[in-house]
């Protein structure tokens, strides 16, 4: 049966010629991680990964896959292999074990109370 | 601190393990995390079966996008005006983009894109049955863009509440883009439905042909489906096939009727007592026939993918860097 | 002068319409997903540029972009034959080389049109150059990278360049009424634009050992006449396909 798609019909002499020759590892190239800056002044955000053969082409290919539909003023790519991360088992290193309120604004909520107490103390006793 | 590894040694050791053979404490922690509504990330420990099922699910989804570009692509050179021509190009491009996002999400689980494509081309891995049907007229593209994408949105919105971080993130963007497809599809359908008699006839004919595949879209009825309790618990599967099918009928049958179109099923009605849609048996034998490779377009779809991979081979080979090493994408 | 203006704008628009159409044939069939997406964007941009050029004519009370694109006879087209050629056997080298030649030409023309005395066109050129910047980046990066890669890639590029260079040369065929256009300050003469185009593409091709020889009159002969309404042998099939739906029911809105 001939294809309904004229594009495919034009390929037809060739279309059935290919048997399944498996792709080789890395035939679709190495991966990069892509970051976009949506507006000036913002933080770059990780938006996904990309297959590209080299750094220069990673930028060119990332542009259309990651910045064609959403706002973007700058694009970063990094080879995935260059990224380091903490292990999930190490997640607890981010959890403080002791009271760290001394470095939080909420750690300093009682100054007004102290002033009030002081003023109470200064007031002369009721005549 | 760790750099990027393909699959960690302990993952390979666990390869092939059944759930009951795995460390119960790790399973308990894993399930507790899911119960708390937290996401699982690629670097986390996960049961073998969770990894395997997710790869299968995401991979099939990715294949469906790249194969799904073909039925609509059938009309890409024949779109009837600038607006439709541009929109169809953008829509099919989005499907290719979705495949890219989904293959990346599946890759984070340790299967390379090349392996996934090999499994597609050899027939080992499946894709959505609906793309094995031909797009015979322009009206088919309108029906696909409206109703197949509507089905896809229901399915994907459901899946986007899942537990696996990279898949959920990909789906967020995909659902957002699909909402343009749906609007474009509905707009195209409305133009045909409110157009000339010939346009209406073309549309009705397309709907008649696509109704059965649409009923098949969410998979076999729950009564025939494999037991998936674990996958529900792990938030891999979030709604049953029948639930999604009911949702689809609820949302779209009234819209189809509003346009004065008929649906080729005399038994289709909403039971006022149960609140559920009733319909004729949509021929599940055909569904299985198509899954097993005997649909009208299975052979062509795979031949086209094989052709595209072969034609692109010299391009990819030319730029391959000899120093490249495989690492799984990050997230 | 409206006749000359129509000739100029149709030449620009028809080139973009048809190359956009041919490039769109690759959607879903590209060599790798990422490039499939990038090339699909370029096809969309080209199609959008065509629409914008036609619109300048519509603004003067002439037909709409859809009428220009979908309801003309072959002899009313003014495209260069380069953009009418099919994607023969889906050789990506042919697609990239055509894209490289076309977008270099497009950039040269747009740069010149920024100074056009016809203000609506000058304004449009300024806008379109934004998208052309990416097209050119995409085109020359691919050509440079492939040109320095494998023997097979080099061979395929050479063969595509040899086939397409004479067609690309004829993109700068003298336009009908060109003298009037140049005198009105709309744009420089085609021969001058061709020179600028050569300065853009030749150094890159030379650096890759891929520079073609300049075509002889004999070679160019069958490629002539695009700007004068003479179509290549490939046009009719392309146009029948492009208008298959729109012409099936001429009263319909789609």
**What are the residue ranges spanned by the domains of chain A?**
24-122
Nearest residue in chain C measured CA to CA from B86: C44
A9 touches chain C (CB under 8 A): no
Chain A residues 53-112 within an 8 A CB cutoff of chain B: 53-54, 57, 65, 69, 80-81, 83-88
CA atoms within 13 A on the CB side of B207: 26
Looking at chain C, the number of H-run helices and the number of E-run strands are: 11, 0
The span from the CA of B39 to the CA of B259, in Å, is 42
Give A20's contacts in chain B (Cβ within 8 Å): 118, 121-122, 306
Contact yes or no for B293/B123 (Cβ under 8 A): yes
**pLDDT digit string (tens) for C202-252?**
999 999 999 999 999 999 999 999 999 999 999 999 999 999 999 999 889
**Which chain A positions have a beta carbon within 8 Å of C25's beta carbon?**
7
Query: The tokens of B330 are what?
Result: 């990050």
Chain B residue nearest residue A31, CA to CA: B329
Place of tokens 């790790």: B26
Residues of A in contact with C33 (CB under 8 A): 51
With a cut of 90, say whether residue A17 has pLDDT above it: no
DSSP E strands, chain B: 269-270, 277-278
DSSP state of B44: S
User: Which of C23, C28, C243, C246 to mutate against chain B (most B CBs within 10 Å)?
Assistant: C28
Spell out the alpha helix ranges (H) of B108-240.
113-121, 138-143, 149-159, 165-193, 197-216, 229-233
ipTM of the shown complex = 0.97
Q: Which of B74, B306, B330 sits opposite A18 (nearest CB)?
A: B306
From the number of C-beta atoms within 10 Å of its C-beta (0-12, 13-18, 19+), residue B255 rates as: middle
For residue B316, the chain C residues in CB contact (below 8 A) are 31-32
Share of chain A above pLDDT 90, in %: 80
Show the tokens assigned to B282.
């949509």
Q: Write down the pLDDT at residue B4.
A: 34
Q: What is the per-residue pLDDT for B331? A: 75
Which runs of consecutive H residues, i.e. helices, occur in C114-234? 119-147, 151-169, 178-183, 190-207, 217-220
C141 touches chain A (CB under 8 A): yes
User: Is C192 exposed, middle or buried (CB count within 10 Å of its CB: 0-12, 13-18, 19+)?
Assistant: middle
* Cα–Cα distance, C68 to C6 (Å, whole number): 11
pLDDT at A16 (0 to 100): 87
pLDDT at B276: 97
CATH number of domain containing C69:
1.20.1260.10
Smallest CA-to-CA distance from B194 within B261, B148, B264 is with: B261
The total of structural domains in chain C comes to 1
Cα torsion A32, A33, A39, A43: sign = negative
The answer to whether C145 faces chain B, any CB pair under 8 Å, is yes
Whole-angstrom distance, CA of residue C25 vs CA of residue B301: 16
Burial class (CB in 10 A: 0-12, 13-18, 19+), C189: middle
Contact assignment for A53 to C145 by CB distance below 8 Å: yes
Please name the member of C43, C65, C150 whose beta carbon is closest to the beta carbon of B82: C65
The pLDDT confidence band at residue B226, using thresholds 50, 70 and 90, is low
- Overall CATH class of domain B49-319: mainly alpha
Reported as a single tens digit per residue, the pLDDT across C125-147 is 999 999 999 999 999 999 999 99
Taking residue B225's Cβ as centre, other Cβ atoms within 10 Å add up to 13
Q: Which among B43, B118, B136 has CB closest to A88?
A: B43
Q: How far apart are CA B216 and CA B211, in angstroms?
A: 9
Rounded distance between C-alpha atoms, residue C122 and residue A117, angstroms: 76
**For position B98, what pLDDT does the model report?**
98
Which residues are CB-neighbours of C81 under 8 A, at least 6 positions away? C167, C170, C223, C226, C231, C232, C234
In this predicted structure, the answer to whether residue B69 has a pLDDT above a threshold of 80 is: yes
Confidence of residue B17 (pLDDT cuts 50, 70, 90): low
- Residues found in chain B: 331
Closest CA in chain B for residue A29: B320
Region B308-327: mean pLDDT is: 94
CA distance C139 to C141: 6
Q: Which residues of chain C are modeled with pLDDT < 50?
A: none
Query: In this predicted structure, what is the pLDDT of residue A126?
Result: 67
Torsional sign, CA C216, C217, C218, C222: positive
- In whole angstroms, what separates CA B18 from the centre of its chain? 27
Share of chain A residues as helix, strand and coil, in percent rounded to the nearest 5:
40, 20, 45
Q: Which CATH class is domain A24-122?
A: alpha beta
With beta carbons less than 8 A apart as the criterion, state whether B111 and B51 touch.
Answer: no
If one counts every other C-beta atom within 10 angstroms of the C-beta of residue A90, the result is 11
The greatest distance separating any two alpha carbons of chain A, rounded to the nearest whole angstrom, comes to 112
CA C9 vs CA C16, C34, C61, C172, C187: distances in Å: 11, 33, 14, 14, 12
For an interface test with C, the pick among B79, B101, B312, B315 (most C C-beta atoms closer than 10 Å) comes out as: B315
Tokens of B126: 């499946």
Contact B87, B200 (CB under 8 A): no
CA of C40: which chain B residue's CA is closest? B93
Write out the residue range of the structural domain in which residue C189 sits: 2-248
Contact between A14 and C141 using a beta-carbon 8 Å cutoff: no
Residue C253 included in any domain: no
Cα of A69 to nearest chain B Cα, Å: 9
Q: Determine the pLDDT at residue B64.
A: 96
Q: How many H-runs (helices) and E-runs (strands) does chain B carry?
A: 13, 2
Instruction: Identify which of C200, C174, C198, C199 has the alpha carbon closest to the alpha carbon of residue C187.
Output: C174
Do C145 and A53 touch, CB atoms closer than 8 A? Answer: yes
pLDDT at A127: 60
Q: What is the pLDDT of residues B113-154, one digit of tens each?
A: 999 999 999 999 999 999 999 999 999 999 999 999 999 999
- Report the distance separating Cα B189 and Cα B203, nearest Å: 7
Indicate the helix (H) or strand (E) that contains A77. Answer: strand A74-79
Q: For residue B12, is pLDDT > 60?
A: no
Whether B291 and B283 have beta carbons less than 8 Å apart is answered as no
Question: What's the pLDDT band for B16 if we cut at 50, 70, 90?
Answer: low
Chain C residues lying within 8 Å of B95, measured CB to CB: 28
Least confident of B4-13, B303-312, C117-126, C240-249: B4-13
């Amino acid at each position: 049966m001939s294809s309904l798609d004229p594009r495919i019909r034009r390929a037809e002499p060739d279309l059935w010629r290919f048997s399944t020759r498996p792709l080789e590892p890395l035939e679709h190239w190495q991966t990069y991680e892509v970051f976009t800056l949506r507006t000036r002044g913002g933080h770059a955000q990780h938006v996904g990964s990309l297959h590209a053969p080299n750094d220069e082409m990673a930028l060119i290919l990332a542009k259309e896959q990651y910045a064609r539909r959403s706002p973007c003023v700058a694009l970063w790519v990094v080879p995935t292999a260059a990224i380091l991360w903490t292990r999930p088992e190490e997640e607890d290193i981010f959890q403080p074990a002791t009271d760290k309120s001394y470095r939080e604004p909420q750690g300093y909520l009682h100054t007004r109370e102290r002033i009030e107490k002081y003023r109470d103390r200064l007031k002369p006793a009721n005549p | 601190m760790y750099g990027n590894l393909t699959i960690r040694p302990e993952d390979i050791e666990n390869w092939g393990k059944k759930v009951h053979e795995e460390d119960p404490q790790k399973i308990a922690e894993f399930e507790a995390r899911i119960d708390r509504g937290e996401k699982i990330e690629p670097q986390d420990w996960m049961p073998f079966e969770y990894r395997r099922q997710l790869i299968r699910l995401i991979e099939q989804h990715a294949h469906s996008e790249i194969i799904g570009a073909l039925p609509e692509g059938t009309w890409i050179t024949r779109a009837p005006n600038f607006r439709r021509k541009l929109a169809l190009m953008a829509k099919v491009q989005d499907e290719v983009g979705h495949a890219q996002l989904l293959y990346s999400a599946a890759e984070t689980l340790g299967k390379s894109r090349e392996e996934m494509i090999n499994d597609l081309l050899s027939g080992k891995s499946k894709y959505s049955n609906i793309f094995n049907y031909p797009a015979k007229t322009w009206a088919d593209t309108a029906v696909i863009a409206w109703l197949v994408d509507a089905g896809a949105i229901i399915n994907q919105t459901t899946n986007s509440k899942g537990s696996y971080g990279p898949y959920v993130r990909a789906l967020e963007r995909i659902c957002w883009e699909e909402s343009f497809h749906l609007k474009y599809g509905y707009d195209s359908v409305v133009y045909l439905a409110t157009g000339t008699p010939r346009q209406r006839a073309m549309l009705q004919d397309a709907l008649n042909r696509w109704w059965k595949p649409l009923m098949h879209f969410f998979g076999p009825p729950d009564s025939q489906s494999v037991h998936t309790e674990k996958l529900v618990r792990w938030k891999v599967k979030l709604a049953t096939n029948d639930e999604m099918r009911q949702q689809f009928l609820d949302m779209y049958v009234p819209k189809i009727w509003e346009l004065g179109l008929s649906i080729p099923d005399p038994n289709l009605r909403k039971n006022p007592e149960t609140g559920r849609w009733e319909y004729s048996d949509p021929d599940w034998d055909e569904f299985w026939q198509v899954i097993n490779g005997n649909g009208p377009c299975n052979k062509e779809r795979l031949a086209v993918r094989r052709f595209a991979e072969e034609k692109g081979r010299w391009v990819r080979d030319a730029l391959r860097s000899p120093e490249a090493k495989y690492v799984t994408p990050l997230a | 002068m409206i006749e000359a203006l129509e000739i100029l704008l149709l030449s620009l628009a028809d080139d973009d319409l048809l190359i956009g159409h041919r490039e769109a044939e690759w959607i879903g069939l590209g060599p790798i997903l990422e490039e499939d997406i990038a090339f699909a964007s370029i096809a969309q941009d080209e199609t959008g540029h065509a629409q914008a050029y036609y619109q300048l004519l519509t603004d003067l009370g002439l037909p709409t972009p859809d009428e220009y694109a979908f309801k003309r006879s072959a002899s009313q087209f003014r495209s260069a034959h380069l953009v009418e050629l099919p994607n023969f056997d889906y050789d990506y080298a042919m697609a990239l080389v055509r894209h490289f030649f076309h977008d270099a030409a497009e950039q040269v023309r747009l740069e010149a049109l920024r100074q056009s005395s016809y203000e609506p066109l000058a304004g449009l050129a300024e806008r379109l150059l934004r998208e052309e910047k990416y097209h050119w980046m995409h085109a020359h990066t691919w050509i440079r990278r492939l040109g320095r890669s494998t023997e097979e890639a080099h061979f395929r590029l050479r063969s595509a360049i040899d086939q397409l260079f004479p067609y690309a040369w004829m993109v700068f065929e003298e336009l009908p009424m060109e003298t009037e256009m140049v005198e009105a300050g709309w744009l420089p003469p085609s021969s001058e634009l061709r020179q600028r185009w050569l300065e853009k593409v030749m150094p890159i091709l030379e650096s890759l050992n891929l520079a073609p020889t300049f075509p002889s009159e004999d070679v160019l002969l069958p490629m002539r006449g695009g700007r004068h309404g003479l179509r290549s042998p490939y046009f009719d099939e392309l146009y029948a396909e492009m208008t298959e739906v729109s012409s099936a029911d001429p009263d319909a809105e789609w």
